[in-house]
Each structure stands twice: as structure tokens, then as C-alpha cells.
Amino acid sequence: MPREINIDLEGKVLVVTGGTKGLGREIALGAAKEKAKLAVCSRSEDFLENLKKDLDSIYDDQNDYYLDTVDINEVNMLKNFSNNIVKELGEPDVLIANAGVTDQKHHSLVDLPDETWEKIININLSGTFYTIKTFLPLLEKTRGNLIIMTSLLGQKGYGKANDAPYCASKFGLEGLAEVAADEYEGKVNVNTIFPAEKVNTNFFSHLSKEEREKLSDPEVIVEPTLFLASLPTGSLTAHSLNAKKWREDLAYQKDLLKKSRKEN
Ligand SMILES: NC(=O)c1ccc[n+]([C@@H]2O[C@H](COP(=O)([O-])OP(=O)(O)OC[C@H]3O[C@@H](n4cnc5c(N)ncnc54)[C@H](OP(=O)(O)O)[C@@H]3O)[C@@H](O)[C@H]2O)c1
């Protein structure tokens, strides 16, 4: 990472929802390499077991991470998860609300089954709301960072045909982030991040091997996410970080670094 980007997560407690696959997994491994204390959840035990193997090759001490089976739609599971994190690792400094799903069949509005709408809104929007509602009071104690994974399809002007529930949920998350940033101004930085490109994860498991090879690697999300995770209190907030622009446009990256230091 360029020297100018200050990634300082050593000993910080960092939580990733949906951190067992795709982008979340890459962020979790990146944070582990930066010596953060890590908590990860997802619904599938098998994938948590796989992650555990990789974490054991990074951490010297198994007490530095905590993995749990949690459905972000289940408020009680989230509550237990947060209580256990405090017990096992300490108060969370960073929450990366990353868990999300999509409609791989890409139905048009009128063909969209109600159950598909409900499933995606329930997980992406309501589940993320339950997650941040659970963790914000803890992040307030540590004066930490909340990062919400959205999408290019959640940005004004990028609503796309045949993606109604996904776009609606991600637009909703951008709004939710603005509300949280306003309510917690000066106490918790609240930012969103989106890859702004198709990343080779389970979201594209319906494509052929050749098609998937043309997509970006999940690695593209790591540096800008860890940059947001390292922000000091009262720094950059209510920003939607475009990860592709961060990588390709040095002026954009420099401007964010300047804003994070409150230089303008
Ligand atoms: N891939 C892209 O190109 C792309 C682009 C823009 C934004 N994103 C966003 O990036 C985030 C991660 O997506 P991805 O592409 O990495 O997909 P992925 O590989 O399918 O990973 C999704 C993760 O979320 C977890 N998850 C799903 N529903 C959950 C629930 N109800 N409770 C707890 N965990 C749950 C999954 O684990 P379980 O299934 O085991 O629960 C998995 O770990 C999503 O918010 C997505 O919208 C992705």
C-alpha cells in the first residue's frame, strides 16, 4: 500500500458480516494481515470453517478472532454475536456491514416474484438496518467507523433494468448511511463503499468460467475499505467511496486522503 495511506488496525476490533465469501472474505483476510482482532459472521458453518483454516495461518493466537453463525435477519442472533464479540475480543472499533444477496435471474419489474423482492429487501436493507442498529451504540463507545457495502446500482443515475430489489435495497442503504452519519456526527464516521465493477464472487456463479475470468478480483475492495476502517474520529463521513475510482484516479484518492485529514 502507498505509504501515504494510513492503515492502522493493529489490535482494533473489526467486525465483518458476510465475511466468509467473496468481498467480505477478502476484507476479513486483509484486516487479519493488518493484525486487527477480527469477528466474522455468515449463515453457513462450512464456510466459517474454511475461513478459520486461513485465519489460523495468519494469526499466532486463536483468541484474536471470533467466528459465529448468524443470519443478519435474526435480531437475537445479532445481539448474541455483539455480546460475544465484546466478551471475546473487546468493544468493536469497526463494523463492515457487507452481507448481501442478489437476484441472479434478473427479473423485470412485472415478472419479479414477490418472494424474491421480499428476500432481497429483507437481507440487504432490513438485515443491514438490524446490524447497524445493534452495533452503533458499541461503535459510539469506541468512536469508531461504520462502513456499509452498497453498489454502483445504489447510486443516483445508476438504477438498472431487471434489478429492482437489488437497486432499491442499495439505494435504501445509501439513505440509511446518511441518516446514521447525521445522527452520529463527530462520534462515528459512517461511510459506504462500492466496487463500481463486477467482482468475481458467488454473485456471478451463474456465468461460465470464461465469463467469470473477465471479472475483477475481490482484492480490489481491500485497500479502500481498510482505509475507511482506519479513519480517526470526526474524519471523513457520509461519503460513498467508489473503489474503482480510488484505484484508477489518483486525484480522487488524494482528495479523499486530504478530506480524511480535514485539510480542506
Ligand atoms: N460481486 C460484486 O460484483 C458486487 C458489486 C457491488 C456490490 N457487491 C456487494 O458486496 C457484498 C458482498 O457480496 P459478494 O459479491 O462478496 O457476494 P457473496 O460471495 O455471495 O458473499 C456474500 C456473503 O454474505 C453472506 N450472507 C448472505 N446473506 C446473509 C445473511 N442473511 N446473514 C448473514 N450473512 C449473509 C454470505 O454467507 P452465507 O450465504 O453463508 O450467509 C457471504 O459470506 C454484498 O453486499 C453485495 O451487494 C458485490
Q: What is the length of the chain?
A: 264
**What's the gap in Å between 98 CA and the centre of ligand 1?**
6
User: What domains can be seen in the chain, in order of their start residue?
Assistant: 13-260 (3.40.50.720)
**What's the gap in Å between 132 CA and the centre of ligand 1?**
16
pLDDT of res. 261? 87
Ligand 1 atom closest to 44 (CA): 40
Say which residues have a Cβ less than 8 Å from residue 246's Cβ, sequence separation at least 6.
223, 224, 252, 253, 256
**What's the gap in Å between 263 CA and the centre of ligand 1?**
35
pLDDT of res. 6? 85
Please tell me the distance from the alpha carbon of residue 20 to that of residue 24, in angstroms, as a whole number: 6
pLDDT of res. 5? 86
Give bridge partners of residue 147 from the DSSP assignment: 96, 191
Please tell me the distance from the alpha carbon of residue 241 to that of residue 149, in angstroms, as a whole number: 10
Which triple of cell numbers denotes residue 167?
Answer: 437497486
Please name the amino acid found at residue 242. N
Please name the amino acid found at residue 164. A
What DSSP state is assigned to residue 160?
Answer: -
Give bridge partners of residue 11 from the DSSP assignment: none
Residue position matching grid coordinates 452520529: 184
Chain CA centroid to CA 264, Å? 27
Whole-structure pTM value: 0.98
pLDDT of res. 262? 73
Strands (E) across the chain are located at: 13-17, 37-42, 65-69, 94-97, 145-149, 189-194, 240-242
Please name the amino acid found at residue 200. N
Task: Write out residues with Cβ below 6 Å of ligand 1.
Answer: 17-18, 20-24, 41-44, 47, 70-73, 98-101, 123, 127, 149, 151, 194-195, 198-199, 201-203
Q: How many CB atoms lie within 10 A of CB 58?
A: 14
pLDDT of res. 263? 62
Please tell me the distance from the alpha carbon of residue 185 to that of residue 168, in angstroms, as a whole number: 26
Please name the amino acid found at residue 157. G
Which of 23, 70, 104, 150 best tests ligand 1's pocket when mutated (most atoms within 8 Å of CB)? Answer: 23
- Taking the chain (264 residues) in consecutive chunks of 10 residues, what is each chunk's mean pLDDT? 78 98 98 98 97 98 98 98 98 98 96 98 98 98 98 97 98 98 98 98 96 98 98 96 97 95 67
The closest alpha carbon to 248, from 201, 173, 197, 202, belongs to 197
Torsion of CA 81, 86, 91, 96, to 10 degrees: -20
Please tell me the distance from the alpha carbon of residue 231 to that of residue 234, in angstroms, as a whole number: 8
pLDDT of res. 2? 53
pLDDT of res. 143? 98
Please tell me the distance from the alpha carbon of residue 90 to that of residue 106, in angstroms, as a whole number: 41
Ligand 1 atom closest to 201 (CA): 19
**What's the gap in Å between 209 CA and the centre of ligand 1?**
20
The closest alpha carbon to 40, from 67, 80, 60, 61, belongs to 67
